[in-house]
Amino acid sequence: MLNNKNQDFHNARKLALTKAFPVMLGIAFLGVGYGVYMRSCGFDMIWPICMAATIFAGSMEFVTVSLLLSTFNPGYALLLTLIVNGRHLFYGISMLEKYRGMGRKKLWAVSGLIDEAFSLNYMTDVPPGTDRNWFMLFVSLYLYISWIGGTVVGAVSACKAVVDIKGVGFVMTALFIVIFISQWQKERTHGSSILGLVVAGGCLLLFGKTYFMLPTILIITTIFTVRWLTTKDKEKLV
């Protein structure tokens, strides 16, 4: 039994690396850009490294730079964080069943549930002989390591360089489009995806591009929470 558990563990580690490696390259590239960007804004090398280690939430790392350079306003910072990262509420609801029974591993899996980790852990069909809990944990861990590593490289190599990072926004947009298309292809029905597009489009028209994210997330989260609580067969929602 012990040998089987060890084999399941090693299979999970290898599968996670195989699935996560292409995404790790992209995250490492963003980390390099982040490290260089913070240095170009006048921060010492230790700042981007410490922030990368403690802030693991997608684009919020870049937004935090502008918050640090502006007038101290904790209320605005809190609201902006909710707007930018409110989508993680939906991710958490979607992963309730998949994270069930993870034990102590669940703490890190939840903390590391960024967009890319959610996509890989939600959509990957883990084969028999591979521990799914360890697979999901290793996916989040590999992505975190690539983010830290990229940031260290960028922070160390940049010496007050002024860098144009306009391409970062395009990379993130392209990444989300790829994730959406991949999810669309795996869905048995497309009701959830269409609902997301309709709600987001409606909120964009009503609230504008600056403020549409938070109401979009709140509406979608409310709808899916009600569906989750009122549906007995949870597998039908996946």
Q: Stretch 159-184: mean pLDDT, rounded?
A: 57
Same domain, 142 and 35: yes
Percentage of the chain modeled with pLDDT above 70: 82
What is the spatial distance between Cα 170 and Cα 223, in angstroms, rounded to a whole number?
30
* Four-point Cα dihedral 56, 85, 124, 222, nearest 10: 150
In a domain, 24, yes or no: yes
Same domain, 70 and 159: yes
Which amino acid does the sequence have at 146?
Answer: S
Same domain, 160 and 47: yes
Q: Crossing angle for the helix pair 115-123 and 2-40, nearest 10 degrees?
A: 150
Task: Report whether 219 contacts 195 (CB < 8 A).
Answer: no
Same domain, 200 and 154: no
What is the spatial distance between Cα 33 and Cα 167, in angstroms, rounded to a whole number?
10
Confidence band, pLDDT 50/70/90 cuts, at residue 165: very low
Same domain, 117 and 222: no
The predicted pLDDT at position 196 comes to: 83
Q: Spell out the residues 6+ positions from residue 175 whose beta carbon is closer than 8 angstroms to its own.
A: 26, 115, 116
Specify the higher pLDDT residue, 14 or 189.
14
Same domain, 43 and 147: yes
pTM above 0.85, yes or no: no
pLDDT tens digit sequence for 82-119 = 777 777 777 777 787 788 888 888 888 888 888 888 88
* Domains in the chain, number: 2
Which amino acid does the sequence have at 59?
Answer: S
What is the spatial distance between Cα 220 and Cα 200, in angstroms, rounded to a whole number?
9
In a domain, 41, yes or no: yes
In a domain, 199, yes or no: yes
Same domain, 104 and 157: yes
Question: Of 202, 228, 182, which Cα lies nearest the Cα of 89?
Answer: 228
In a domain, 140, yes or no: yes
Q: Phi first, then psi: what are they for 144, rounded to 5°?
A: -65, -45
Task: Report whether 35 contacts 48 (CB < 8 A).
Answer: yes
Task: Report whether 37 contacts 164 (CB < 8 A).
Answer: no
What is the spatial distance between Cα 31 and Cα 56, in angstroms, rounded to a whole number?
11
For residue 54, pLDDT beyond 70: yes
Question: Of 69, 37, 35, 67, which Cα lies nearest the Cα of 52?
Answer: 35
Confidence band, pLDDT 50/70/90 cuts, at residue 236: low
In a domain, 108, yes or no: yes
Same domain, 33 and 115: yes
For residue 161, pLDDT beyond 50: no
Residue 98: Cβ-neighbour burial (10 angstroms; 0-12, 13-18, 19+)? middle
What is the spatial distance between Cα 63 and Cα 84, in angstroms, rounded to a whole number?
9
Same domain, 228 and 117: no
Same domain, 148 and 35: yes
In a domain, 138, yes or no: yes
Same domain, 74 and 13: yes
In a domain, 63, yes or no: yes
Same domain, 57 and 146: yes
Listed residues 164, 199, 218: the one ending a domain: 164
**Residue 206 belongs to what domain range?**
187-238
In a domain, 170, yes or no: no
Say which DSSP state 45 is in: T
Listed residues 117, 133, 164: the one ending a domain: 164
